Amino acid sequence: MLEGCYIFLILGLIELLPQRFKSAGYFIADVIMTTLFASIILYVAYFNTVPTYFALFQLGQVSAISDSVISLLNPLYLLMYLDIAILLVFKWSKKLPFPTPKVDKRWVRTSVTVAVIMAFGIFVYYKGVDIANPVLAAENKGILNYELLNIYKNPSATVKPLDPNLTPAEINEKIAKIKGNTIIPDHKKAMFGAAKGRNVIIVQGESFQNFLIGLKVNGQEVTPNLNRLIKHSLYFPHVFQQVGPGNTSDAEFIMNTSLFPQSYSATSIAVGNRHFYALPRLLSDEGYETMTFHADELKFWNRDELYPALGFDHFYEQPLYGNKDIVGLGPSDDVLYSKGIDILKKSKQPFYAMFISMSSHHPYKIPEDKQGLDLPKRYEGTIVGDYLQAQHYTDAALGRFIDKLKAAGLWKNSIFLFYGDHFGLDNDMLNRNERALMQELLGHPYTDVDRYNIPFIVTIPGVTHGEERNIIGGQLDFLPTLTNLLGIPIENRLVHFGQDLLNTDSNTIGMRYYMPKGSFINEHIIFQPNKNFDDGTAYNIWTGEPVKDYKNYRVDYERVIELENLSDAYILSLPHQINANKMP
């Protein structure tokens, strides 16, 4: 009914065209509508949420991830274009089986007026209806109506900037109050300064999920190097992704700011023109040389704006890595690390170096000579098998990188962090056989808790000795955990929405975009609202069982929304970058 009204309006408008333009009008409208719906289906398959016009800003990236897009194409989608193909055949054979009838224009005008009034009524009615879950919202409001409402209600325009005169200390106090935390003085914090003055080396693992850690297939460890590293590290196995539509770049943003990413657009695109007092700036002020390495072009995800916004001194992008040893989107992780280590060896110390791996990017097809696992036949040709091979390679390349750091004498005076940027597999991309493989690997059906769970590993060579920490955490918590270990006070200097995982005994992880606004994970449940809190769904994160009585956790729901709103407001209060122009 809702769609019908808009479609009727479009058809009516075409009918108002002069007779000779009508068939072309119908044909063009058909192609546009079909392509719109096909793109929405594809987007939902990849991101699990309904796209809005903001997705158009990412169109430039589609060719770079064409392998991913192609792997998602289902031949059945072509059926959507069947009518267009048939029409073309008739057109070419000049035998249209039906004439374009002449309709009384008065009737058309009346119908169009009725359709306009109805569409307007529907639009106005749904303007005031707030449904947290975008898929449900699009279903309820009608997809075309939903798209128009998003254009009308630009989500970024609804946020009011925070008072720019508030100091970081005041904002951090507000955050602690919302969370119900008391700020612990630095000298009382566990492990404060345990890595003081050391180099900081961070590796962000592409699509790297926690279930890979310690996993064995056919008697082989999938991640032998990380498993070994964990024996000398602090390992946080209950940490969850918090990225939004900017995926990899959002994870980079969160690591460096401890702020929530934007919910409607890649953060680097939406607010990359702001000036953040972020980790690179903080470490620069502490005498560090700061740099980031990624074997893609800076233009992808608008990093040419994001990196200066965060304050990195240097960014090493393509073409530094050449065009040899290509895996998926670009040069392999081995190339990334080899080029990187040459630069680190020459760099002034202490340095902060961030590495963004890429070889294990969706659709996880890596060259045969890099497939180090001997997998049983049933994994062949499955995305699960490809994923395991790709992450096994990620782990191997990382192992070689660590060996090189050791050989160069850089390892022992560094602190090393590893985490995953976001999930790699989700149930919607798995067929029945692949879901069975996941169940076989995990010992239980693959759930959203498994999907969003990423590892967080912190190694301070000579200091950490293999300890597992059971606290729940999120990507926003990485920055305060790191600065605590470096012994750098941040309460009065850097606004952070995450908390130091070494000095926390309770935590709630807010997530939006991949889950509706207000979704959270706490020590007990994973929760997502549907229309609102009361009709939400909750599962026990330890057993996967549905939780009916979750009403006690309303405080977590309200808390994460309040924190996300405050983070958005804070970002909007930041000054624009001076020389916000992109780097040459």
Q: Round to whole Å and give the CA distance between 413 and 529.
A: 46
User: Residue 216 in contact with residue 388, Cβ under 8 Å?
Assistant: no
351 binds, among Mn ion, ligand GP9, none (CB under 5 to 8 A by kind): none
Cβ count near 60 (within 10 Å)? 11
Q: Round to whole Å and give the CA distance between 321 and 331.
A: 6
Judged by CB, which is closer to ligand GP9: 247, or 519?
A: 247
DSSP string, 455-514: EEEEE-TTT---EE----EEGGGHHHHHHHHHT---TTT---SS--GGG-S---EEE-SS
Q: Round to whole Å and give the CA distance between 163 and 12.
A: 49
The dihedral formed by the CA atoms of 193, 197, 198 and 203, expressed in degrees to the nearest 10:
80
Closest distance of CB 375 from ligand GP9, Å = 24
Q: Which of 46, 24, 53 is nearest to 147 (CA)?
A: 53
Distances in whole angstroms, Cα of residue 44 to Cα of each of 38, 52, 417, 527: 10, 11, 32, 21
What binding mask, one character per residue, do residues 195-234 give for Mn ion by CB under 5 A, x or -? -----------x----------------------------
Judged by CB, which is closer to ligand GP9: 73, or 79?
A: 73
Residues that bind ligand GP9 (CB under 6 A): 65, 247-248, 296, 300-301, 329, 356, 358, 361
Judged by CB, which is closer to ligand GP9: 147, or 386?
A: 386
Closest distance of CB 28 from Mn ion, Å = 36
Q: Round to whole Å and give the CA distance between 67 and 364.
A: 10
Closest distance of CB 530 from ligand GP9, Å = 27
Among 48, 172, 247, 262, binds Mn ion (CB under 5 A): 247
Which residue minimizes CB distance to ligand GP9? Answer: 247
Judged by CB, which is closer to Mn ion: 48, or 504?
A: 48
Distances in whole angstroms, Cα of residue 152 to Cα of each of 343, 373, 379, 531: 48, 51, 47, 20
Q: Where are the alpha helices (DSSP H) in 180-322?
A: 224-230, 247-257, 267-271, 279-285, 303-310
Closest distance of CB 270 from Mn ion, Å = 18
Q: Round to whole Å and give the CA distance between 108 and 361.
A: 52
Q: Which stretch binds Mn ion (CB under 5 A): 349-357, 413-421, 499-507, 535-543?
A: 413-421
Q: Which stretch binds Mn ion (CB under 5 A): 90-98, 242-250, 283-291, 302-310?
A: 242-250
**What is residue 576's three-state secondary structure?**
strand
Closest distance of CB 360 from ligand GP9, Å = 10
Q: Is 421 in the site for Mn ion (CB under 5 A)?
A: yes
Closest distance of CB 65 from ligand GP9, Å = 6
Judged by CB, which is closer to ligand GP9: 333, or 477?
A: 333
Closest distance of CB 413 from ligand GP9, Å = 29
204 binds, among Mn ion, ligand GP9, none (CB under 5 to 8 A by kind): none
CB under 8 Å to 179, separation ≥6 — which residues?
499, 508, 559, 563
Query: What pairing do the DSSP bridges indicate for beta strands 220-221 and 216-217?
Result: antiparallel
502 binds, among Mn ion, ligand GP9, none (CB under 5 to 8 A by kind): none
Judged by CB, which is closer to ligand GP9: 146, or 260?
A: 260
Q: How many residues bind Mn ion (CB under 5 A)?
A: 4
Q: Round to whole Å and give the CA distance between 392 and 394.
A: 5
Among 48, 150, 225, 248, binds Mn ion (CB under 5 A): 248
Retrieve residue 375's tokens. 């997998």
Closest distance of CB 204 from ligand GP9, Å = 9
Judged by CB, which is closer to ligand GP9: 355, or 497?
A: 355
Closest distance of CB 240 from Mn ion, Å = 15
Q: Which of residues 81-100 bind Mn ion (CB under 5 A)?
A: none
CB under 8 Å to 319, separation ≥6 — which residues?
none
Judged by CB, which is closer to Mn ion: 334, or 421?
A: 421
Judged by CB, which is closer to Mn ion: 204, or 499?
A: 204
300 binds, among ligand GP9, Mn ion, none (CB under 5 to 8 A by kind): ligand GP9
Closest distance of CB 367 from Mn ion, Å = 20
Closest distance of CB 412 from ligand GP9, Å = 30
Cβ count near 519 (within 10 Å)? 26
Distances in whole angstroms, Cα of residue 468 to Cα of each of 284, 300, 487: 31, 36, 22
Q: Is 394 in the site for Mn ion (CB under 5 A)?
A: no
Closest distance of CB 519 from Mn ion, Å = 20
Judged by CB, which is closer to ligand GP9: 142, or 363?
A: 363
Q: Is 268 in the site for Mn ion (CB under 5 A)?
A: no
210 binds, among ligand GP9, Mn ion, none (CB under 5 to 8 A by kind): none
Q: Is the dihedral angle over the CA atoms 106, 110, 111, 113 positive or is it negative?
A: positive
Bridge partners for 201 per DSSP: 353, 416
**What is residue 331's three-state secondary structure?**
strand
Judged by CB, which is closer to ligand GP9: 288, or 364?
A: 364
DSSP string, 24-47: HHHHHHHHHHHHHHHHHHHHHHHH
**Residue ranges in contact with Mn ion by CB under 5 A:** 206, 247-248, 421
